[in-house]
Amino acid sequence: MSDAEPEVLARVEGRVGRLTLNRPQALHALTTNMCRLMIEALVAWRDDPAVQLVLLDHSGERGFCAGGDIRMLAESGAGDGRAAREFFFTEYRLNHLLFHYPKTTVAIMDGVTMGGGVGLSRPCRFRVATERTTFAMPETGIGLFPDVGGGWYLPRMPDHIGLWLALTGARIKAADCELVGVATDCVESADVEELKGWIVKDPPAIETLLTEFETDAGRPTLAAHQDEIARLFSPPSVEAIVSALKATDSDWAREQLAILATKSPQTMKVAFRQLRLGQAQTFAENMEMEYRIAARVVRRHDFLEGVRAVIVEKDNAPRWDPPTLEGVTEQMLDAIFAPLPSGEAWTPLP
């Protein structure tokens, strides 16, 4: 991509509004500007009778969207956090706009779809995976938390799979994405460009087109562990989940224990509370809560240390603080979840 090209290509083709993420060198990691560009286009198309459908996709081959601009967030969090808060505020408005968008929306999740990419795709009515799709909410590994609506979507997945995804950061493929409702359809990646061409030609035929292009994603690998997840991730605290895993004599349980041992204890307990509260919230209430969490977590030790260890220096040896689940107190969590000062709270687009 040349410097002259915008980070999001927004245009109308036929009766379809197209938003193409155009930051391939960064796996389309979202910036504040990208979120603004998408909001601007979506608001313009919302009441435009010439636009019948909105299609979200990406340029290049590497994937849909790897998340947010983590380095920027960490640099801001190490300072006054203003730029990070501006990003989250804008991104969450975009997520909420898509969630309540009155026109048919389609996301092509070809390749990596993580973090911020989930926030873009999950609200869409049609979510098309391919054999290259890799979905994850990997935030516990860098001291962040599964945001962009994760507190609303994840607890609504069957059998505590959403909590398992949130705590472990597990990566799942197309068949599992269909199993848990992340994807509505699966298409061969080789057919994606043809499918998009037909959508542009005949947007009202979207359901028929997806049926015609549908491919068998295969057997979901999660199915083999669904009962175990339902049982072992149902206890009432992260500590109780760890105890249940320790008491289970299976290779899978031992593998989950080893994974959880690498994650930020603070983030795991934040995510656990976030998903519990999100079960009873509206989407807007969830986004307001997530903004409170984000505004604080982005400036805390674990996020800055997680980015250092995983993304900057890549030694993959973060030193979490507190280092244990027991060290993360309810008072610490209360401070992270507390209401923001008057005038600083997140609000949807007017």
Give the separation between CA 130 and CA 191, rounded to whole angstroms: 9
pLDDT digits (tens, 9 = 90+) for 132-185: 999 999 999 999 999 999 999 999 999 999 999 999 999 999 999 999 999 999
Enumerate the H helices of 214-264 as residue ranges: 226-232, 238-246, 251-260
| Residues in contact with 258: Cβ distance below 8 Å, sequence separation at least 6, in sequence order | none
Q: Is the pLDDT of residue 243 over 60?
A: yes
**Does residue 1 carry a pLDDT above 70?**
no
pLDDT value for 2: 47
Q: What percent of the chain shows pLDDT beyond 70? A: 99
Q: How far apart are CA 219 and CA 85, in angstroms?
A: 41
- Are 115 and 139 in contact by the 8 Å Cβ rule? The answer is yes
pLDDT of residue 4: 75
- Give catalytic residues, as residue numbers: 68, 116, 139, 147
Residue 107 pLDDT more than 70?
A: yes
SS3 of 297, please?
Answer: helix
The model's confidence at residue 67, banded by pLDDT at 50, 70 and 90, is: very high
- φ/ψ of 149, rounded to 5, equals 95, 5
pTM score above 0.85: yes
Q: Looking at the predicted structure, is the pLDDT value of residue 267 above 90? A: yes
Pairing type for strands 63-65 and 112-114 reads: parallel
Beta strand 104-109 pairing with 134-136: unpaired
Span 315-329, average pLDDT: 97
Q: Which runs of consecutive H residues, i.e. helices, occur in the chain?
A: 32-46, 70-77, 82-99, 116-121, 150-153, 161-168, 174-179, 192-201, 206-213, 226-232, 238-246, 251-260, 265-278, 283-297, 301-307, 330-337
Task: For residue 136, give the H/E element and its range.
Answer: strand 134-136
Q: Which domains does the chain have, with CATH numbers?
A: 8-337 (3.90.226.10)
- In the predicted model, what is the mean pLDDT of the chain? 97
